[in-house]
Amino acid sequence: MRPLWNGTLAFGLVVIPIRLYAATERKNPSFHLLHERCHSPVRYMKWCPVCETEVGLDEVVRAYEYEKGRYVMLSDEDLEAVPGPEAHKVEILDFVDLSDVDPVYFEKSFFLEPREGAEKAYRLLFSAMKEESKVAVAKVAIRAKETLALVRSYRDKFIMLETMYWADEVRLGDELAVPGDIEIDEREKMLATRLIEALSTEFRPEKYKSRQKEALFELIQKKIQGQQVVAEPERAPVQVIDLMEALRKSVEEARAKKSGRLTASKPPRRKRASGENLQDASPPPVK
């Protein structure tokens, strides 16, 4: 694995140099969009529907839509003036019980690996959190955006970082129409409880498979084996120009053209007839 960045994990006066790695990845098949006629990949471009022209990156500005169709533009200087988090630093704020954190707040998981010389401090924090059955609430900047995070021990080996949603990003669902207090038949409740007990087991994630993903990969393999494949059309190779050779040929062509002009500007010489005086010679008639 390649680390996303090198940084530090800080709590109190203790600073642990770490590396951050993504702990998860989606493995669903990703599809490219091709032009049906020639099988070339479709290129996406930024298009202005008013000017009816493609827009270059140097012509694009950031804007926030505060009302429908109304924007306020933000320059790079504006964004640089906004106070942001310290880059490549995981700053622990509090220690809490994991049971107090609703899973709805969790977003993405990352491994934290100690850098050279930080192994003891890393293991110390790992052991202390596990001993106290605590997890740490922290702040971190990933891809220049500040996010809430949770630091925890994982598999008796790693310190894991879970990025989290902020409180105002989690919907409460108060507007949903869900049933309130409804009288439940005790026999029905007993049967539901027995069903849950019958289906209860230890969680083993490898047990669960995506039938859709497996079917898609099987379909793709069948098409590959059946030679139902297309290839992107070959593009004309880019010619690498030899500067010295190009200059040499240009000089030769220039000399050839100049020589041709000089030759064309001189009239052809007539052969003198026997006994003819050169002074009496007249120019040939113009036809």
- pLDDT higher at 144 or 197: 197
Q: Is residue 154 scored above 70 in pLDDT?
A: yes
**Most confident of the ranges 192-201, 244-253, 262-271:** 192-201
Contact 213, 29 (CB under 8 A): yes
Give per-residue pLDDT as tens, 50-68.
999 999 989 999 999 999 9
Instruction: Tell whether 204 is covered by a domain.
Output: no
Examine the domain organization and report whether 72 and 123 are in the same domain. Answer: no
Instruction: Give the span between the Cα atoms of 109 and 212, in whole angstroms.
Output: 24
Examine the domain organization and report whether 75 and 101 are in the same domain. Answer: no
Q: Is residue 253 scored above 90 in pLDDT?
A: no
Contact 118, 18 (CB under 8 A): yes
| Residue the block writes with tokens 């310190």 | 159
Instruction: Tell whether 159 is covered by a domain.
Output: yes
Examine the domain organization and report whether 65 and 152 are in the same domain. Answer: no
Local confidence band at 5 (pLDDT 50, 70, 90 cut-offs)? very high
Tell me the C-alpha to C-alpha distance, in Å, between residue 70 and each of 27, 59, 61, 67, 164: 39, 19, 14, 5, 31
Examine the domain organization and report whether 106 and 63 are in the same domain. Answer: no
Q: Which amino acid is at 175?
A: E
The H-assigned helical ranges of 200-237 are: 211-225
Supply the mean pLDDT for the chain. Answer: 86
Give per-residue pLDDT as tens, 17-37.
999 999 999 898 889 999 999
Examine the domain organization and report whether 108 and 19 are in the same domain. Answer: yes
Cα 1 to chain centroid, rounded: 17
Instruction: Give the span between the Cα atoms of 109 and 139, in whole angstroms.
Output: 14
Residue 270 confidence (pLDDT): 54
**Most confident of the ranges 154-158, 234-238, 280-284:** 154-158
Q: Among 14-23, 98-107, 212-221, 247-256, whose mean pLDDT is lowest?
A: 247-256
Examine the domain organization and report whether 16 and 120 are in the same domain. Answer: yes
Residue 120 confidence (pLDDT): 94
Examine the domain organization and report whether 16 and 57 are in the same domain. Answer: no
Q: Is residue 267 scored above 70 in pLDDT?
A: no
Count of CB atoms situated within 10 Å of the CB of 149: 24
Q: Is residue 277 scored above 60 in pLDDT?
A: no
Examine the domain organization and report whether 139 and 60 are in the same domain. Answer: no
Using CA of residue 152, residue 2, residue 143, residue 84, what is the dihedral sign? Answer: positive
Examine the domain organization and report whether 51 and 157 are in the same domain. Answer: no
CA atoms within 13 A on the CB side of 204: 5
Residue 231 confidence (pLDDT): 82
- pLDDT higher at 284 or 93: 93
Q: Among 23-27, 142-146, 244-248, 279-283, whose mean pLDDT is lowest?
A: 279-283
Q: Is residue 287 scored above 50 in pLDDT?
A: no
Instruction: Give the span between the Cα atoms of 251 and 243, in whole angstroms.
Output: 12
Instruction: Tell whether 280 is covered by a domain.
Output: no
Across the range 12-18, mean pLDDT stands at 91
Q: Is residue 235 scored above 50 in pLDDT?
A: yes
- Report the number of distinct structural domains present in the chain: 2
Examine the domain organization and report whether 71 and 9 are in the same domain. Answer: no
Instruction: Give the span between the Cα atoms of 159 and 185, in whole angstroms.
Output: 46
Examine the domain organization and report whether 75 and 100 are in the same domain. Answer: no
Examine the domain organization and report whether 53 and 163 are in the same domain. Answer: no
For residue 153, what are the domain limits? Answer: 5-24+84-169
| Residue the block writes with tokens 């007249």 | 282
Instruction: Tell whether 181 is covered by a domain.
Output: no
Residue 178 confidence (pLDDT): 85
